[in-house]
Structure 1
Amino acid sequence: MAATFKKIRRRVWLILNTLVVLWMVVGVLCVQVPPSTFWPAGFIAMSLPGALVFNLLFLIYWLLRRSWLLVLPLSALMLGWEYYGRLLAINFENEVPEGAKTLQVLSFNTHIFNAYNKIVEGVPQVSNDMVDWVATHPADVFCLQEFYSRVNSVEFNNFNRIGTRYGKYKFASTSVGDRIKADLGIVIFSKYPIVQGNTIRFQNTPERSANRAAWADIDVEGDTVRVYAVHLQSMSIKSEDIENTYSAIGDEESFKKESRNVARRLKGGFIARDNQVQQLLEHIRESPYPVIVCGDFNDIPFSYTYHQLAKELGNAFVEAGNGVGATYNGPLPFLRIDNQFYSPGLKPYAFETHYEMGLSDHFPISATYVLEPKATE
């Protein structure tokens, strides 16, 4: 009887493990499918982290059982190794080569420095703390999304407080946004001269939309690096939407309504970012200089958007970061939706997610790059 039960249990676990491997395979395939062609692929791709984790648990289970069946999850792990690297980064600290030319880049969705957040007690102090933190950060280049500045305000004159006061060069891609003529958008600050810059306005996106990309050619002591600051289409999901969905569990009708609302917004975001990343990549391919592409991509590492960028560019977190690198400061944990990508000619030696700055709905990220000598040098 015991032997029969053991055989049945083994067969059940094998079937479950096989289903997880199939889940992984389908998820990996869906990561490569444009949502504009088949939008359900975006939802399946989002579930890929679950398959990766379950496959790892099966590997441990078969290992503890000392069963040859560990070959199944082990093979899946090896085939999906790239995706495990996107889930969890493990890197040892490398010393920057002596005499190397470096560039430290900070990227931060500042959430308009909470200028409109009337709910938070002590908003002026919160905003001041955020601005001061950014202004005094030792980075060489700052890529700020959802930037906000008002010329006639001591508190919110952030072009001055972050840039002019510290002698930084800037390229601003902003629109006049409210009744008091504030500038909102993307701004690139640099301690090195900005040779030129421009805006990439995404198709089918309103001209004043915050979703855009800005680029600037920066002269780093004789070498030029093109830096992109990107803000792709938002998921358009607020904290209240997630909380409402959680609270609706148990109420079938309410849960269906809230779930459909979230799913509809996710679908729209998948399709919009599909088009935006293609337009962005077309511009990147034409760059005559090494590029750093950073910002708020509003998509996880198991998305079509991320995959398209990762096919052509390295990712600083994967190569130099550690842990899960979550950048979303909201009710959904472990989401890494802010990234820094880079092209050949650059090498990241350090990456940090700044959890000490938790006043926005995103955590800032910074990376230090070494500009590799040109082949002719």
Structure 2
Amino acid sequence: MRGVFFQSSFLILLWFLLETRAETHWVFTLLASVPPHVFVLPTALVILVGLFKKRWKALLWQGLPLLLWLFLLMGLQLHPPRPETSNKVRVMTWNVHGGLAGLEPLLSTIQHIQPEVLCLQEARITGPQIWTVLQKQDQRWQMAQVGELVILSRFPVVQKRWLEFPNSFHTALEATLQLPEQALSVVTVHLDRHRLGPTAWDQRMGRTLEERTHRVSGIRQDGVDVVLKSQGQAQQQKQAFLACGDFNMPPLGPLYRQLEDRLDNAFAHSGLGFGFTWNASLKLYRIDHLWFSPDVQTLKTWVEESKGSDHLPVVTDLQLQP
């Protein structure tokens, strides 16, 4: 019992620190970058010892820290899919890693999923190539692009613009789509990730690990602010809102909660399982997200297996509320 108490207390304390201090202190920010699988090791060791010594009652008690790990740190979701409707819209977001795996596996996955709205990151060259192929199959496909960010839509793109981050050269891409029911404002982003470094890029962000972490956290905060400002403008114009992309953040921490206070995370509301999107082989993190305004209902959200990138695509079926 004492061991279960200490294990459970450790997991709860760790979750609390990651929720409240990640992005605000470099130690906890880097700790949030550790794959959450690691934190089950003490419990796994106790379970192995219990099996070896046949301590069945002690093994049952290990269910408590195991559940805490699964739900608090691994982000396990248990949402059954809602019934499909005739007016659903399928949205997909994917960091295509510059198309390094080739165009064929990307197109194969996209054509299998058949999205109506497709947000791509690291797609400076690959995005227009995908658009060209899709438009040959269906001329309704339209494209908006700024740099590596691309939004493809079967619905008319009535407005598009780039959104500058206030304190860096980063940008987000915003497009207004005219759906049959109403207008949908879509923003796609690719936020920086924290690195141990030091690469040439890291050196430009700061000389020390603490400086680099602080700088990257500031850029990520700018990205969140840009997304929420866009959502506020969409709300004033009575438009539904969607933010999608590679946020490079697990579902923990102050920045994630800032988004969650105003928007609904698609996988957290209609996903089943862990939803890990990176890396495609090892399944270490859920860092690619789809966010919706409250006037949008998600019916089903999943992560699609693919060999087209080091990231896996996130797909959701949504319905706009009348």
**TM-score, scaled to structure 2:** 0.77
**For residue 223 of structure 1, what is the amino acid of its counterpart?**
Q
1:113 aligned to 2:109?
no
SS at 1:352 equivalent: strand
Bigger radius of gyration among the two: 1
SS at 1:309 equivalent: helix
Residues 149, 21 of structure 1: CA spacing in aligned structure 2 closer, same or farther, 3 A cutoff? closer
Shift of 1:306: 1.9
Give CA-to-partner distance per residue, 1:181-207, whole Å, 9 cap, x none.
xxxx2111111112212111213333x
**For residue 127 of structure 1, what is the amino acid of its counterpart?**
L
Q: Which residue of 2 aligns with 1:144?
A: 120
Aligned to 2:78, which of 90, 93, 96? Answer: 90
**TM-score, scaled to structure 1:** 0.67
**For residue 141 of structure 1, what is the amino acid of its counterpart?**
V
SS at 1:287 equivalent: helix
Q: Which residue of 2 aligns with 1:253?
A: none
Contact 1:104 1:141 in 2 (8 A): yes
How far apart, in 1, do the equivalents of 2:209 and 2:27 lie? 14
Give CA-to-partner distance per residue, 1:102-146, whole Å, 9 cap, x none.
1110111112211xxxxxxxx6xx323323543564111111111
SS at 1:367 equivalent: strand
Q: Which residue of 1 aligns with 2:152?
A: 189
How far apart, in 2, do the equivalents of 1:236 and 1:173 lie? 27
Aligned to 1:347, which of 285, 297, 308? Answer: 297
Aligned to 1:204, which of 167, 182, 186? Answer: 167
- Identity over aligned residues, as a percent? 23
How far apart, in 2, do the equivalents of 1:221 and 1:282 lie? 25
Shift of 1:267: 5.2
1:25 aligned to 2:1?
no
Shift of 1:234: 3.6
Give CA-to-partner distance per residue, 1:77-102, whole Å, 9 cap, x none.
5xx99846x711112222124x5x21
1:286 aligned to 2:239?
no
How far apart, in 1, do the equivalents of 2:4 and 2:320 lie? 50
How far apart, in 2, do the equivalents of 1:145 and 1:24 lie? 30
Q: Which residue of 1 aligns with 2:308?
A: 359
Contact 2:7 2:65 in 1 (8 A): no
How far apart, in 2, do the equivalents of 1:286 and 1:112 lie? 31
How far apart, in 1, do the equivalents of 2:193 and 2:11 lie? 30
Moved more, 156-165 or 211-220: 156-165
Contact 1:109 1:360 in 2 (8 A): yes
How many residue pairs were aligned?
Answer: 306
Residues 147, 163 of structure 1: CA spacing in aligned structure 2 closer, same or farther, 3 A cutoff? farther
**For residue 298 of structure 2, what is the amino acid of its counterpart?**
P
Q: Which residue of 1 aligns with 2:221?
A: 274
Contact 2:98 2:126 in 1 (8 A): no
SS at 1:27 equivalent: helix
